Structure 1
Amino acid sequence: MNPPLPRTPALTSRLPKVGTTIFTVMSALAAEHGAVNLGQGFPDFDCDPALVNAVTRAMQAGHNQYPPMPGVPALRQAMAAKMQALYGLACDANTEITVTAGATQAILTAILSVVQPGDEVVVLEPCYDSYVPNIELAGGVAVRVPLTPGSFRPDFDRIASAITPRTRALIINSPHNPSGMVWSAADMQQLQDLLAPTDVLLISDEVYEHMVFDGQVHQSVARYPGLAARAFIVSSFGKTYHVTGWKVGTVVAPAALTAEFRKVHQFNVFTVNTPMQHALASYMDNPAPYVELAAFYQRKRDLFREGLAATRFRLLPGQGTYFQCVDISSLAVPERDLPEGDFCQWLTREMGVAAIPLSAFYGDGFDQRVVRFCFAKKDDTLREALKRLSRL
């Protein structure tokens, strides 16, 4: 008699509503159909060879073992100097800056470090898809507040109404993924006034901080003392230096918040790739790559918008990030009436260009006939995509 087959024990999912992300789905579909992938947000061009060479030098110099848990001191000091120079924030590299395994880990760690079971965390939709699952993993309750449809500007009356005695934190994101909206100085001041009488913490996702266009200035939380004193400020070297696969970021926070952050950080990643930290520290000696990044991406944005303007897509404002949103409701194809997700699959299969539906960034799948393209691509890639989209 054969023994019974091994059985995997039953379990209850910690994230029962989570499946494969839309980014994975659309990238796989793009590869299957040979489509130009303007869906997932990553460059298709290389980073500066000098940065790669700096990693090689760091490896050859023997920087291949564990670094300190908070990050290589030279990189934390370089970040402290940058925060002071750009935003006027004086922060202690030893007690207020932590190097993370990218921004996604940084956000998860911030949430796990301060959110207790039953705490409420306000998120502004549409929002990056990791926010709500992170809150749920901490046992918190996500309170969804919509940004204004069309402009995607914050609605402070709605934000104020969402804050209760149970609110532990608010997550904001500027420049905003997926819409490209940028918070103004007036927005930040209004947020500072709103939170001043509360104990609500702030998680500020600023990974696109150097991609702000048309002469605007990035309004980092770091510029506002009343916000900086209660905030985790999240940055990404991957976005800034075209190395998204390196997964290296930072969190700047007051010492008391950083102490709690590091308690979690040391047990979910402990520390981050050593030679890349040393390379980034030396590369940051020259601020030009991030100072000039806005002009680099604004040129790509303008090239892409000019091409889209010749189609029946309706362009939405694109003030920052490397994303461009368009309204599909005026297209002269019957598929315009499909749900956004189905439209993006049709666009990938039939037109050979992959996009992301904005409905994927809403908990209820809110469909407003808007899709998102990524223009962090070679000019030839963008021109090929525009050639295919011109058939619409």
Structure 2
Amino acid sequence: MSIDIQRLNQRLASAQPSATYRIMDRVADRRAQGAKIISLCAGEPDFDTPKHVREAAIHAIEHGHTRYTQVAGVRSFRESVAAKFRRENGLDVSWQDTLVCNGGKQVIYNALAATLNEGDQVIVPAPYWVSYPEMVQLCGGEARIVMCDAGTGFKLTPWALAAAITPQTRWLILNSPSNPTGAVYSETELRALAAVLLDHPHVLILADDIYEHLIFDDQAFYTLAQVEPRLAPRTLTMNGVSKAYAMTGWRIGFATGPRWLLEAMEKLQGQQTSGASSVSQQAALAALEGPKDFIRESRSAFQARRDLMVTLLNDTPGLECVSPAGAFYAFVSCAGLIGRTSPAGRVLHTDEDVAHALLDEADVAVVHGSAFGLGPYIRIAYALDDASLHQACEAIRAFCTALR
């Protein structure tokens, strides 16, 4: 009698690893072999964490803020989070209406794990962040993908939303600005979606606002519970410090929403990771309460990089790039490359072929758009200095020009 000791949880066994991290692993392997790769796949700012935030972390260490914290977060930080939601998003919340997690990803996972049962559906507009459908599946739900192509600006329309809702719909996940497209929902567009949601009181809403401060061309940012307060009792508004303050490695995410949901998420987190890092919470508090020069400066830098990338990519044979309104990603159509053959003899049948060929033959790493639910596209993260971006685009152009 044989025993299958390597048997895995069925949900985990059927889940897919992150496509972004798979590409990053390939980059690490190539670099270990001596290749000089320009990586345009990592979703994190290339700037250092602001000095006053780093100093706050050092102060916290030197003054003994190195112990366990409450699962839901240190009260002083939760008060700062609530003040942020009131000040920047017009949400009437107190510190008791907040939860601090180990990164924004844990906020989303905890919300889904705390609420999904077998047969529950989660509406996920595509293109989507690669982790949304996998987290839904791991938590026992079914991701109901709604395609949102270039014709709608990669955004969910009220008609598509209404058609996707069923009696089994438990959540809608809405990400603005979007990873991977940089699409941003206007106040008018959110109001139109809210009108649909008001007719379906069984649907919860998860607003992933992690790129909130990276919006270009002087556009204003709006979140769903802000434009339609009647949805607040069933909306989880998620944010964090990773993108706005270049604090990806500090692992701090936070949310506000109905207390019954936050209490369930806290209960789950208490048996999972417990509270977030005490030092990181003190640093994040300094970020939220300190000067905002860094946000303005980094946003300006990213906007200039966006303009550079859009120009260079649209000058490349076979590529088309719509100017993104936010975040630091360009979602680039590579339809003009499909079916062609690379200088090394690789036939480009798919956008994934394009991504691997660029890495192997041009020493530039990008992520294929089909990993985000829509091909043939490639996602390019322009969170690098201008010289590196110029070099990467020159290499991409040389590759595309040499195709036959």
**TM-score above 0.5, yes or no:** yes
Cα deviation, 1:208-246, whole Å, max 9, x if unaligned, reads 111111111112124121232211111121111112122
Task: Tell me by how many angstroms 1:9 deviates.
Answer: 5.1
Query: For the Cα contact (< 8 Å) 1:35–1:349, is it kept in 2?
Result: no
Question: 1:285: Cα distance to partner?
Answer: 2.0
2:244 match: 240
- Count of matched residue positions in the alignment of Structure 1 and Structure 2: 384
SS in 2 for 1:345: helix
Q: CA deviation at 1:380?
A: 2.7
What SS does the aligned partner of 2:332 have? strand
- The residue type paired with residue 257 of structure 1 is L
1:348 aligns with 2:359: yes
Question: Aligned partners of 2:331, 2:6: CA distance in 1, in Å?
Answer: 45
Q: Which residue of 1 aligns with 2:99?
A: 98
2:327 paired residue among 315, 321, 343: 321
For 1:196 and 1:121, how far apart are their aligned partners in 2? 17
How far apart are 1:152 and its partner, in Å? 0.6
Partner residue, 1:82? 84
Q: In the alignment, which residue of structure 2 is the partner of 1:148?
A: 149
Deviations 1:118-175 (A, max 9, x none): 2221111121122222222222222111113452121322211121222111111111
> In structure 2, the residue corresponding to 1:104 is in which secondary structure?
helix
* Greater shift in the superposed pair: 35-44 or 58-67: 35-44
1:79 and 1:291, CA in 2 relative to 1: closer, same or farther beyond 3 A? farther
Paired letter, 1:346: A
1:65 Cα deviation after fit: 0.3
Deviations 1:298-328 (A, max 9, x none): 1221232233243232112311111012122
Matched to 1:218, the amino acid is F
Equivalent AA in structure 2 for residue 105 of structure 1: Q
- Which residue number corresponds to residue 20 of structure 2? 23
The alpha-carbon distance between structure 1 residues 352 and 142, as it changes in their structure 2 partners (threshold 3 A), is: same
Q: Give the conservation status (yes or no) of the 8 Å contact 2:333–2:378.
A: yes
Letter paired with 2:279: P
Superposed CA RMSD in Å reads 2.2
| 1:366-390 CA distance string (max 9 Å, x none) | 53x2111001112232222123223
Distance in structure 2 (CA, Å) of the matches to 1:11 and 1:115: 21
| SS in structure 2 at match of 1:338 | coil
Could you tell me whether the CA contact under 8 Å between 2:238 and 2:255 is conserved in 1? yes
- Is structure 2 residue 299 aligned with structure 1 residue 294? yes
Report % sequence identity. Answer: 29
Give the residue type in structure 2 aligned to 1:133: E
Q: What residue ranges of structure 1 are gaps of 5+ in the alignment?
A: none
Equivalent residues in 2 for 1:266-281 (5 A)? Answer: 266-281=270-285
Equivalents in 1 of 2:297, 2:236: separation in Å? 25
Higher relative contact order, structure no. (Cα contacts within 8 Å, ≥ 6 residues apart): 1
| Residue equivalent to 2:395 | 388
Q: 1:206 maps to which residue?
A: 209
Residues 302/166 of structure 1: CA separation in 2 closer, same or farther (3 Å cut)? same
Aligned AA (2:274)? F
C-alpha separation in 2, matches of 1:177 and 1:216: 18
Please, which moves more after superposition, 290-299 or 326-335?
A: 326-335
Letter in 2 for 1:72: V
Counterpart CA distance in 2 for 1:380 and 1:228 is 45
Residues 386, 260 of structure 1: alpha-carbon distance in 2 compared, 3 angstrom cutoff: same
1:106-185 paired onto structure 2 within 5 Å:
106-150=107-151, 151-185=153-187
User: Take 1:378 and 1:39, find their aligned partners in 2: how far apart are those partners?
Assistant: 14
Instruction: Name the TM-score, length of structure 1 as normaliser.
Output: 0.91
Structure 2 length as normaliser, TM-score? 0.89
Distance in structure 2 (CA, Å) of the matches to 1:105 and 1:181: 23
Letter in 2 for 1:230: R
- The answer for the alignment partner of 2:220 in structure 1 is 217
Q: Deviations over 1:251-293 (max 9, x none)?
A: 1112232222222222222110001111221232224133554
| Equivalent pair of 2:310/2:322 in contact (CA under 8 Å) | no
Structure 2 counterpart of 1:311: 316
Which of 11, 36, 42 is equivalent to 1:14?
11
For 1:248 and 1:114, the matched residues in 2 are separated by 22
1:50 corresponds to 2:52: yes
Give the distance between the partners of 2:145 and 2:370, measured in 1 at CA: 14
The CA distance in 1 between the partners of 2:265 and 2:301, in whole Å, is: 34
- Cα distance in 1 for partners of 2:251, 2:148 equals 28
Cα contact 2:19–2:130 (8 A) shared by 1: no
- Shift of the alpha carbon at 1:30? 2.4
323-332 or 128-137, which deviates more: 323-332
Cα distance between partner residues in 2 of 1:359 and 1:99:
32
* 1:96-135 CA distance string (max 9 Å, x none): 1111111111100011122222222111112112222222
Displacement of 1:337 in angstroms is 4.3
Distance 1:292 1:337, change over 3 A: same
User: Could you say if the C-alpha distance between residues 154 and 40 of structure 1 is closer, same or farther in structure 2, counting changes exceeding 3 Å?
Assistant: same
Unaligned runs of 5+ in 2: none
C-alpha separation in 2, matches of 1:184 and 1:194: 16
